[in-house]
Chains A and B, each alone.
Chain A
Amino acid sequence: MSAAPTLEVDNLKTHFFTKAGVVKAVDGVSFHVNAGEILGLVGESGSGKSITGFSILGLIDPPGLIVSGAIRFKGEDLATLNEERLRSLRGNRISMIFQDPMMTLNPVLRIDTQMVETVLAHENIGRKAALERAREALALVGIPAPERRLVAYPHELSGGMRQRVAIAIAFINKPDLVIADEPTTALDVTIQAQILFEAQELCRKTGTAMVWITHDLAVIAALADRIAVMYAGRVVEAGTADEVIAHPLHPYTHGLLGSVPTRNQRGTRLTQIPGMTPSLLNLPDGCAFAARCPRVAQQCCEQQIPSQQILGRSVRCCKPLVAEAVA
């Protein structure tokens, strides 16, 4: 990697100050993404992965607040920028794809109106040129007969098509970074496969860096170059996709992979992680996973475990599964 990473998140902490207490949704998350690369941010509900995505774009509203850490996008620290500057970046150099395409699409406006609006908000190239770009963007995401889709309203399109349009809108200004928050979770398997394929192609072609947030390990295995696994607001393991999946070092990653049915012999009991994620209001002093970890030791509960570099990856564990990995 000769060039600096497109996005570098450094010890990000986003807390929510609610009546019931402080919810430490993101509590010290660090990762980086290079140009043209897809990073899979994997975690279950309550892991803080979506909040991380929103923090990057500055979409955190009170009672939430980025309390510390840096989000370096091509050198600029997004956490310190004012709203004006953030707005000029959003939709332009950094864009987001949401799980529900209707969060992107306005149901009462036509597709072409919305896409042209996105273009013209950042570049004054005239309506005709903007329309042409819109048509190209739709073709880029594999939508057949883009001219017909342009004049349609969102409700006239199927779920998969709407999500493709949302992706097209995300890519229309040729951004450097795209954050995708579970964009295919709500879609059927065949449509999901198509969209994954197209997203991968797009990133390769345009050199865009992508952070793909998901809870589905299988999706990310096929798609991502690198993976960061989150648990209770922290990154517990990060590395190349091949390595993390083949030889997980953190017991949580190991347990998560073991929970997937296709990794177990048919008909046998799935290896399950007992218990549930801890409440983010009340995180324990030491490792957040200690209560559920099969390898827990005294030192795990005493203090927060720092992230260390092992075998070319970062792991947040005092007893990582090195032996199994190296074997």
Chain B
Amino acid sequence: MITTVPVAVATAAPIIEVRGLSKRFVKRLDLAGRLAARLGSGAVEETVHAVDHVDLTLAKGEVVGLVGESGCGKSTLGRMIAGLLPATEGEILFKGQARASLDGEEARAARLAVQMIFQDPYASLNPRSRVEDIVGEAPLLHGLTTRKGASDYVDSMLTRVGLDPDFKRRYPHQFSGGQRSRIGIARALAVKPEFLVCDEAIAALDVSIQAQVINLFMDLRRDFNLTYLFISHDLGVVQHIADRIAVMYLGRIVEMAPTDELIAKGPNHPYARALLAEVPRLGREKRKFRPVKGEIPSPLNPPSGCHFHPRCPVAVARCSIEAPKLRVIASGRHSACHLND
């Protein structure tokens, strides 16, 4: 639906395009449940609309930040783009071709081109593998290096992420959280990806280590012309490194805009406005908190119409009936709010 590319990266072709992507988790009733339903207990199949008809385009070389709170579906969306979760509906295009229709060599290349950096530096590395195997297993398997050249290949990867290659025979538990994050990045880089999905990749790290890893991401982007989908709940970090920001709420993208515009002119969508306002800042003046009232609704039972309307300070009648579509409101800016009409 939306394929406009931000002016800054106008000549770059889309590397990943997502159209109408949805993911629904259905908790089917088992035998006992179906019996109970027959007998009138009212037990129903529960469906979680984790991701609800999302359209997104990522141009080569850009960094798109995906922000939202828990339950908004950003992690699910990230995993679908990385190929780890099958979509319920919609399609993902890699360099213009539908990924599902690729097979054989092309499918493998498409798979390797999109890699993921995970959040938990402790659970994302196999505790029983040495670092050289963690980083070197996949490239060896896919023929990116020979058995003879594997050691040097692993060394070069580790050096690139700022780790001492002497430590490659160690096990993950002998490294700190920040170092493990780097090992995970080296592992992803080793298969020469073009696109990285960073799923809260720095959330579990200390602030000073976060700065190191953010700098590393920026360096790698420049050196390898990588494209990032940077998923985070930390707007401060996303603002710093992303070219464009997409805000999600309960499975839908509610606003998408270039970062500069978002900072300069402020967000359009009420939820995005609230999110931006809530971020604690280092300002010297004591801020008065004007918190958004209410709690994030359960994804099992989202509000009708616009998901945000129960908490929205400017909601009107139409908001509870009809779900707003993501529309272009200015050059490069999209927002899903009825008040824009």
Direct contact of A and B (CB under 8 A): yes
**Which residues of A come within 8 Å of B, CB atoms?**
44-45, 158-161, 188-194, 196-197, 200, 215-219, 221-223, 242, 245-246, 255-264, 266-267, 269-274, 276-277
B176 at the interface (CB under 8 A from A): yes
Q: A219 — nearest CB in chain B belongs to which residue? A: B280
A266 close to B263 (CB less than 8 A): yes
**Which residues of B come within 8 Å of A, CB atoms?**
69-70, 176-179, 206-212, 214-215, 218, 233, 235-237, 239-241, 259-260, 263, 274-275, 278-284, 286-287, 289, 291-292, 295-296
Complex CA–CA separation, A20 to B212 (angstroms): 30
A188 close to B69 (CB less than 8 A): yes
Complex CA–CA separation, A160 to B178 (angstroms): 28
Complex CA–CA separation, A302 to B184 (angstroms): 38
Complex CA–CA separation, A189 to B208 (angstroms): 20
Q: Distance in Å from the Cβ of A139 to the closest Cβ of chain B?
A: 15
A189 close to B289 (CB less than 8 A): no
A189 close to B291 (CB less than 8 A): no
Residues of chain B with a CB closer than 8 A to A256's CB: 207-208
Residues of chain B with a CB closer than 8 A to A266's CB: 239-240, 259-260, 263
Complex CA–CA separation, A171 to B130 (angstroms): 49
How many residue pairs between the two chains, A and B, have CB atoms under 8 Å in the bound complex? 128
Residues of chain B with a CB closer than 8 A to A261's CB: 211, 214, 236-237, 239-241
Q: Distance in Å from the Cβ of A202 to the closest Cβ of chain B?
A: 13
Q: A243 — nearest CB in chain B belongs to which residue? A: B284
Residues of chain B with a CB closer than 8 A to A197's CB: 289, 291
A161 close to B295 (CB less than 8 A): yes
Can you list 30 A-B contacts (CB < 8 A)? A45-B206, A189-B69, A189-B279, A190-B274, A191-B69, A192-B280, A194-B289, A215-B206, A218-B236, A218-B280, A218-B282, A221-B280, A222-B280, A222-B281, A222-B286, A245-B282, A257-B282, A258-B211, A259-B207, A260-B282, A261-B241, A262-B236, A263-B282, A266-B240, A266-B260, A269-B215, A269-B218, A270-B211, A273-B208, A276-B209
B211 close to A188 (CB less than 8 A): no
Given contacts A221-B282, A276-B176, A276-B209, contact A262 B291 (CB under 8 A): no
B210 close to A259 (CB less than 8 A): yes
Complex CA–CA separation, A193 to B278 (angstroms): 6
Q: Distance in Å from the Cβ of A174 to the closest Cβ of chain B?
A: 23
Q: B278 — nearest CB in chain A belongs to which residue? A: A193
A196 close to B280 (CB less than 8 A): yes
Complex CA–CA separation, A260 to B281 (angstroms): 9
Complex CA–CA separation, A170 to B240 (angstroms): 37
Residues of chain A with a CB closer than 8 A to B236's CB: 218, 260-262
Q: A246 — nearest CB in chain B belongs to which residue? A: B284
A221 close to B281 (CB less than 8 A): yes
B211 close to A259 (CB less than 8 A): yes
Q: B295 — nearest CB in chain A belongs to which residue? A: A158
Q: Distance in Å from the Cβ of B193 to the closest Cβ of chain A?
A: 22
A273 close to B291 (CB less than 8 A): no
A189 close to B275 (CB less than 8 A): yes
Complex CA–CA separation, A218 to B235 (angstroms): 12
Residues of chain A with a CB closer than 8 A to B237's CB: 261
A189 close to B207 (CB less than 8 A): no
Q: A195 — nearest CB in chain B belongs to which residue? A: B291
Q: A44 — nearest CB in chain B belongs to which residue? A: B206
B278 close to A160 (CB less than 8 A): no
Q: A274 — nearest CB in chain B belongs to which residue? A: B212
Complex CA–CA separation, A302 to B178 (angstroms): 29
Residues of chain B with a CB closer than 8 A to A264's CB: 240
A217 close to B275 (CB less than 8 A): no
A262 close to B240 (CB less than 8 A): yes
Q: Distance in Å from the Cβ of B74 to the closest Cβ of chain A?
A: 12
Residues of chain A with a CB closer than 8 A to B274's CB: 190
Complex CA–CA separation, A256 to B239 (angstroms): 18
Which 8 pairs from chain A and chain B are nearest by CB? Answer: A261-B240, A259-B211, A197-B289, A44-B206, A188-B69, A194-B291, A218-B280, A193-B278
Checking A160, A218, A271 against B279 with a beta-carbon cut-off of 8 angstroms, the contacting residue is A218
Most chain A beta-carbon neighbours within 10 Å: one of B211, B239, B283: B211
Q: Distance in Å from the Cβ of B306 to the closest Cβ of chain A?
A: 17
B295 close to A255 (CB less than 8 A): no
Q: Distance in Å from the Cβ of A96 to the closest Cβ of chain B?
A: 22
Given contacts A191-B295, A218-B236, contact A272 B211 (CB under 8 A): yes
Checking A193, A217, A267 against B282 with a beta-carbon cut-off of 8 angstroms, the contacting residue is A217
Q: A272 — nearest CB in chain B belongs to which residue? A: B211
Residues of chain B with a CB closer than 8 A to A262's CB: 236, 239-240, 281-282
Q: Distance in Å from the Cβ of B206 to the closest Cβ of chain A?
A: 4
Complex CA–CA separation, A261 to B259 (angstroms): 14
Q: Distance in Å from the Cβ of B325 to the closest Cβ of chain A?
A: 24
